[in-house]
Every structure is written in C-alpha cells, then in structure tokens.
Chain A
Amino acid sequence: MKEHYIKHQYDPILPKKQEWPVVRLARERKEFVKKVASQAEERILDLIGKNPEILKEELETTLYREKLRIKQNPWDVDPDDEGPFWGEVKTNLLQIHASVSLSKTKKMEAYRDVLQKITSRYSEEIASNFKASHYKFTRRVVTFGFSRLLNAARVKGFGSFFSNQYSLQDKIQITGQTTQIRELATKGTIVMVPTHFSNLDSILIGWIISVLGMPPFIYGAGLNLFNISIFAYFMNALGAYKVDRRKKNLMYLETLKTYSKEAIQFGCHSLFFPGGTRSRSGIIESKLKLGLLSTAIEAQRANFQNGIKEVSGKIFIVPVTINYHFVLEAPSLIQDYLSMTGQERYYKENDEFSTSYKISKFLFKFFTKGSDISVSIGQAMDVMGNYVDEEGNSLDKWGRIVDTQEYFMSNGKVTVDAQREEEYTQMLGRRIVEEFHKINRVFSSHLVAFVAFELIQAKNSKLDLFDLIRLPQEDLVLDYQEFKSACQRVMHQILELKNQGKIDTAPHLSRSMDEIIAHGLENVGMYHAKRPLIQSPTGDLATEDMSLLYFYHNRLHGYGLEKLF
C-alpha cells in the first residue's frame, strides 16, 4: 500500500519575518486598534440610521447585558476594571438622559462619545498580542516536544529520545492543494476555513501552516481558552485575536467584524472556523456562522472600491477538513447536542481541555498509540465560490477567467449594497459546505461507526434517536457477516461518490474489507472509557456507548448513504 502524503519541510515563502503581515500588524498595533474602533463606530451609526433614540436604546441594552455578564458569568481572564468602566458608562447615560436642555445634535454627540469609549475598549480587548519571538519559540516547542514524544514511544532503546526516525508528519498527514495555497499566499490574502471538531484543531492548523512554510495566520480564538495561562501563551504566539462568545451585543459583534475585515484588508492571512464552535453532533458543518465570513466579502469589496484590482488585493477562500479517528471531547460534545435537541439553550462552556493535566494525558496517548490525523487542503476559491488557478485568476465552470470585481458592480461602478453582500455570504457558505463534503476523507473508523449505527437503527425503525440511545446493551449486538456485507454496500457507494468527485477516502480503505473493519474497530474512538464499537470473542459487534457511536457515525451524514439501509 503506497500512501502519497506530503512529508517534507517547505521553504518559508517569506523568509524575513519582518515581512510577515502579522508582524507588520503587531508593529502598527496601536494605530490599527484605533482605526478598528472608529470604523466600528461608523458601522454602528450606519446600522441604526444615525438615530439618537435607537443609539440610546442600543447603549442601554449593551450596558444591561454587560452588567449581567459580569455578575453571572465572570472569567479569570476578565480585566479588573470592568465594573468601574461600565459604571462610568451608566453614569454617562444617566447624565445625558437628565439634561433636557440638550439639543438633538448635542445629544447625539454625547451618545456618540459613549459609543466611542465602548468600541475603543472592545477593539483593544479583541486585538492580538502577537510577538514573533514567542511564535518562533512556540513552534520549536511544539515540533520538538511532539517529535521527541513520538520517537521515545515508537523507537525502543537507549537514546531513542533523540532519534529522528519519526517526525510529526508521520502522525499528521497533509494532503490536497498544498502547492496552490503556498503560491497564493505570496500573491494575495488567504482566508482558511476548516471544519471544527476538537479544541486541538487550532494548534494543529497553526502547526500545519508553519510546516507549509507560510507566515502565521491570525484567527479568532474563544476567550475561554485564554483562561488557561499555557493556552493563552500559545494562542498569542499563534496570532490569535480574542472572541468572547458571552458578548452578543451589537457593539461587540460589529467591532469584532470590523477587526476581522480590517485585518484581511491589511493583508493578514486569516483562519475562521466557519461552524462557529466545534461540531456538537459530529456532523460536518452544514450551516455556517456567516458573521465572520461576511467580513471576507466586505474586505474584498473594499479592496475593489479602493482600486486594488490586482491579485495583491484578492482574497482566497481555502476550505480545509480535519479527519480524526478519535475526538477527545466527543462524549461531552454529543451530550451537549442531545440535551440541546435542536433548540438553542444557554449552557456553560465545559470541556476536557480544562486542565493542563488532561491535555498532556491526551497528547501522550496520541503520540504513543495509533490514531492518525489527516488534514485535507481544498482548492482555493474567490469570495464568490469560483475556483482560482495558481496565478490567482478566478475561473468559471467552463474554465473561463472571471473578473470577481464585476459581482460588486452596478452601472459600471463598485457599489456598497449590504443586502447583496448578505446573499453573497450565504452563497459562499453553501459553496464551502459543498467543498467540505468533497475533500472530506473517509476513515475506516467512520465507515464502521456509520454502518453499525444504521444497522441498529434499521432493526429498531420505530424508535427515535433518544429511544435508540436508551436501548439495553443486549439489543445492540450485530452479526459479523451481516455487518460486513453492509460495510461492503456502503463502501461501494462511497467509491461511486469518490469517482464523481464528491468525497475522498484515506489510503487504508484500499485494503480488504476484513482488514478495513479490523482497522476501523481498533481506531474508532479508541481512548474513550466506553468504546463506541467493540468485537466480542465470537466475532459479533457490540457498542458500549450508543451516543458515541452516533457521534462517529455522523461524520458520514450528508451523502445520502442512509438510503442503503
């Protein structure tokens, strides 16, 4: 079996770190933060139609929600002066309200001052603290530490700790359009959009970006991760800016979007997890959070508006899928999903990455045992979802060159039309989902989990998901031969889809079906206390945890494979 994976260190595309966009941004941090604050202020004023009454209402709502957050859901990472700051905002608002003599314009000005204070604070809070020296150090630690662990575990004997026989790239395989993304990163600005299943994803992607010889990408990391000091260090080193999911007020969201848009326009390659948070169900994201995605479209239009028609002003969207046999957080993710049962409800972020001990335990397991990861880099698209070639030209379905600027033109000029861009964002979201499905790589573990769950469901066709999960274990036994023939049916259909370019498969799927099943059983959710799928001594299959089986099964949702049962 030949596995053609990319396994070599690429030369850096920008050898001098002074040239890295993220370093330039860090140098100009102060002015940049200021610019974001004032642009955000403009945006908010536009949104509310410059109406002082609506502005007042929005300010009051924000104040109320922030005070509530400080009281009910404080985090270690929150700054100490939050209370006083919002207290001052309150005083200001009361003063304006009390001064009946103020004219309408004066009132507006006063409210505007308060708004400006808030956007400035948010902008400062969101901005990243990238330091190139920290980045270099972190990168070395990650690569060195990981490969030391790996070699100590795999190569036996004295001195194995310093052996270089195995590198990280034996564990994490990078496939797909690696040359293209490197090429385009020197020409324009990349917005990478990966699937999101685990908190490990951001570190993993950060490492991959560096293996590919690209300068660091900036990305929005959940503020909760900054609660843990070691993570905070890593995040800052990787160029992360902070996204606080507790703050859902208009002013915060607009400042965040402005930050992202301005950074892209600045030329910083960016990373969005378009699903928003980790996929709770294990299903590949099918509905994307469009907020940050819309900033890529806005930035592209703004570049055109500013007359940057060359490829240097072009934004490239690169979908990426990350494939695991095992997702550490799966048990709590699927519990979240099941308890939410479709309706949004408030819940506290609570995950296995809460302590450094748990993280190290996981990393040690990961490096000493099997469980490979593969990362597929998709073909780059423009913001309208047209594929681009290595020169950065957008191509239509027939291979003709398309001028992306024309999507933003009316009457011969580039125009701003928020409603149009909203539609474009939805189109782009649908294209990304389509690409996710195409570049998704099926692993043996996905196949066995999918088939086992579907067989159990077919045998209990009258039960809904929740009843299925509560079935007693003795009802969950599958005959090996029946299971194998179902696997063959599904595999056949997967290969058919692969021929049509609608899915991808890992090289280990070219083995015999018995081997694939054995491989899958060995790997599916391998470190969970309760395994989603096991084989009894008689050869029959059983599950120890139906909800985990459902989670891993969901990876193959969205291909119509359910129809085979």
Chain B
Amino acid sequence: MGMALKNSSKSQPIGVIGVGSFGTAIANMLAEKNEVLVYSRKQEVVDEINTLHSASGKPLNPKIQATFSPEKLCSACGVLFFMIPSAAFLEVTRTFAPFLHPYHLVIHGTKGLVVQLSDGEELATVAQLRRNQILTMSEVIIQETLAVRVGCLAGPNISKELTDGQPAATVIASKYNEVIHEGQRLLRSEKFQVYGNSDIIGVELSGVLKNIIAIAAGALAGLGLGENAKGLLISRGIVEMAHLSKALGGTASSVIGLAGIGDLVTTCNSSDSRNFTVGYRLAKGESLPQILEDLEEVAEGVNTIRIVDAFLKTAGIRAPITENLHRVLFEDLPIEEALQFLMKYPFSVDIDFV
C-alpha cells in the first residue's frame, strides 16, 4: 500500500469490479473525470480492454485499464465500485477480502440478497428465515472484509440509456457522508444527477424488493390488462415494499425515493427487464422451469420472492403480493386466481406507512 497511499486520490485510479453492462456503463462515466482500473477474472477480457479499448465489443473510454489481479487493483485504488451480478457477489467479495483495507471506500451497484443457511439447507426448501440469516450486499461486504465505509448505488439506471448519454439520476446511500460525497464527486455530470441518502439498508432493500413488483407488472401485461391495473399495482406495490423494508431494517421514506418508486416505475414499464419477462411469460401459461431455462442471467425477483416469503413466516407480517406470487411460482396457483385473491384482499386504507 505504501506507494499508492502517498498519492492523492486525484491521481489514483478508481476501481471497478465487474464489466457487465452496468459495470461498463459506470466505468465509462467514471472515466470522464478519472483514470479507471477495472477487474475481470478472464485474461481475454483484460486483453481486449487493454488493447482494443472495448468490453464484449462495447466501446470503452481509453482511460480505462484492466487487470485480473485483485491485489493490484486494491493497492492501486482507494475507491472501489463493486458492479457484480448478485449470484457471484459473495464469491467475488471473498476473492477481494484479503486485499481490502479499512481505508478503502466501497460502493456497490448490486441488487440482491445473500442468504446464510446451515449445512444441508437450501433456499428452495427452507421454510423460514430470520433477519440475521439475510444479508444485503453492504452487509456482505462488512461481514466478509475489513472495509467499513461502504455505500450503494441504486435507482432507475438502464445501462443502455446511460451509455447513450441520456439524462438520468441515481442515489448513493451510505451511513458515511464521506462515501456519499466521494460518489457524487466522481459520478456527477451534466447528464447524471447523484442524490445522497443515509439509509443504506432502505435503499438496498428498495432496489431488491421492486423486483418482486416487476414480476407482477409483467404478469399483468401478460394477462392483457391495461394502465389502470398497472397504476393499482405500483401504488399497492409501494405500500408492500414500505412494510417489508421496515420489517427488514430500512425506513419507509427511502421507498418513495429514486431507488424505490423511481426504479419501480422504470422497471414496470420496461419489457426488456428479466423480472418483467418472467411475469409476462408466466401469464402466458409457461411454467417457471421453462422460463428460467431460456434466461441467460437469473431473474433476481424469483430469488427475492423465495427469501421474502420465508422471512414473512418469522416476521409476523403479511405481504399479499409477494405471498401470492410465491404460490404462483412454486405452488402452481393459476395466475388468474392470484389476481382474484388480490382484488378481494381487504386493503381498506390507501396509505398507512407515512
């Protein structure tokens, strides 16, 4: 660390771990102001970036260099962006753990939950989960590494639109003001607004829970229902997200921010989204195994429904949309019946969480 630390952060490159579509978009945005060092574990990806300045054919800013050494990346960079798919998050975090120090600032952009099960248990069969068995990604980083100054990046950020330079905004959440300020300093531009929020758990949960509602939105579209139904779903969805978020340790107010309602509206209107697609095809009569077989990457919402449904059993609260989707996905409840059930559910109060 010696040499790297003596330089100020202005000359230090910013680390980006993961060169998927979102990681690439963020790396390009960071490179507008700073040198960037990205990590990939594949030699050919590293070579492509360093020689051709592209990742899987997508053009990259020439100020972006690549390495497959976590050690090199951690000693060269003081600020790291973890932009990895949730399925690989724990493993990659563990790969980086030996090289991460308490002085690192880590900001992640991953929407998902990690579940800690005892030996022999599986997510597919586990009947109930307690809160301390469920980790948000920032909790994974804190548990697995020495980094404590952790933040997350969430909001309606469709990679393609970011790459095209369309106007957008994001929220950086952290308990530490210095993390928020650093994230804003690095990412803010004329086309990109960056908000701060100190409720990191609430912001992470908003990004995770909205995937459940996105599946429901796809299902409504698949059933051929219109905009009234969608408005109903989004509004009831926000209420459900607020209650779940509170039960899991977030605040209700983050749900009405950019990472909650902002991202939810975007996802519910975007037929490209994997979660939306799952719901859509379910409504068209396909089974979950059939759908999952075709999807290249996991639809995060499917896992989230499992986790949240198991959590509900220990939390003593109800979440009708999640519970009914669980029955549709895993207990063969016909989707029309689930909809009937929801229409009869006695929601008497419009808003009961603010």
Contact = CB atoms under 8 A, between A and B. Distances in A.
A315 to B, nearest CB: 16
A177 to B, nearest CB: 23
Contacts of B344: none
A402 B78 CA distance: 17
B274 to A, nearest CB: 35
Given A410-B103, A411-B78, A420 B146 contact: no
A412 B175 contact: no
Which of A384, A406, A417 has most chain B Cβ within 10 Å? A406
A185 B9 CA distance: 38
Nearest to A402: B146
Given A402-B146, A417-B178, A420-B176, A384 B8 contact: no
Contacts of A406: 101-103, 146
Given A407-B102, A420-B178, A423-B176, A396 B7 contact: no
Interface string A397-426: 000101110110111100001011001100
Nearest to A419: B177
Contacts of B9: 410-411
B20 to A, nearest CB: 29
Contacts of A410: 9, 78, 103, 105, 178
A404 B103 CA distance: 10
A478 to B, nearest CB: 29
**Would you call the interface of chain A mostly helix, strand, loop, or mixed?**
mixed
A407 B149 CA distance: 9
Contacts of B8: 411-412
Given A412-B6, A412-B8, A402 B102 contact: yes
Contact of A420 (B7, B78, B101, B149): B149
A481 to B, nearest CB: 32
A406 B102 CA distance: 5
Given A412-B7, A420-B149, A403 B102 contact: yes
A404 B98 CA distance: 16
Contact of A384 (B102, B105, B176): B102
A403 B146 CA distance: 10
Interface in B140-166: 146, 148-149
B176 A419 contact: yes
Interface string A418-449: 01100110010000000000000000000000
Interface in A372-416: 384, 396, 400, 402-404, 406-407, 409-412
A253 B49 CA distance: 57
Contacts of B176: 419-420, 423
B225 interface: no
On chain A, which size bracket covers the interface?
A: 10 to 19
A53 to B, nearest CB: 25
B5 interface: yes
Contacts of A419: 176-178
Contacts of A402: 102, 146
Interface in A282-304: none
Nearest to B6: A412
Contacts of A417: 177-178
Interface in B169-191: 175-178
Nearest to B149: A420
A411 B146 CA distance: 17
A411 B105 CA distance: 10
B185 to A, nearest CB: 12
Contacts of A400: 98
B200 to A, nearest CB: 11
A396 B146 CA distance: 8
Contacts of B5: 409, 412
B316 to A, nearest CB: 13
A214 B206 CA distance: 52
A423 B176 CA distance: 7
Contacts of B103: 406-407, 409-410, 412
B32 to A, nearest CB: 20
A406 B145 CA distance: 14
Contacts of B105: 410
Contacts of B148: 384, 407, 424, 427
A384 B102 CA distance: 10
A414 B148 CA distance: 16
B217 to A, nearest CB: 37
A255 B8 CA distance: 35
B77 to A, nearest CB: 12
Contacts of A427: 148
B168 to A, nearest CB: 28
Contacts of A384: 102, 148
A419 B176 CA distance: 7
A424 B102 CA distance: 12
Interface string B105-137: 100000000000000000000000000000000
Interface in A193-212: none
Interface in B60-81: 78
Contacts of B78: 410-412
Nearest to B130: A560
Nearest to A410: B178
A96 B177 CA distance: 38
A263 B149 CA distance: 29
B165 to A, nearest CB: 30
A384 B105 CA distance: 16
A309 to B, nearest CB: 14
A251 B297 CA distance: 59
A411 to B, nearest CB: 5
Interface string B224-265: 000000000000000000000000000000000000000000
B71 to A, nearest CB: 14
A423 B175 CA distance: 7
Contacts of B98: 400
Interface string B13-45: 000000000000000000000000000000000
Interface in A265-294: none
Contacts of B177: 417, 419-420
A398 to B, nearest CB: 8
Contacts of A409: 5, 102-103
24 contacts: A384-B148, A396-B146, A400-B98, A402-B102, A402-B146, A403-B101, A404-B102, A406-B101, A406-B102, A409-B5, A409-B102, A409-B103, A410-B103, A410-B105, A411-B9, A412-B6, A412-B7, A412-B8, A412-B78, A417-B177, A419-B176, A419-B177, A423-B176, A424-B148
Given A402-B146, A406-B101, A412-B7, 13 more contacts: A384-B102, A403-B101, A406-B103, A407-B103, A407-B148, A409-B102, A410-B9, A410-B78, A410-B178, A411-B78, A417-B178, A420-B149, A423-B176
* Ranked 7 nearest A-B pairs via Cβ: A412-B5, A406-B102, A407-B102, A406-B103, A409-B103, A411-B9, A419-B177
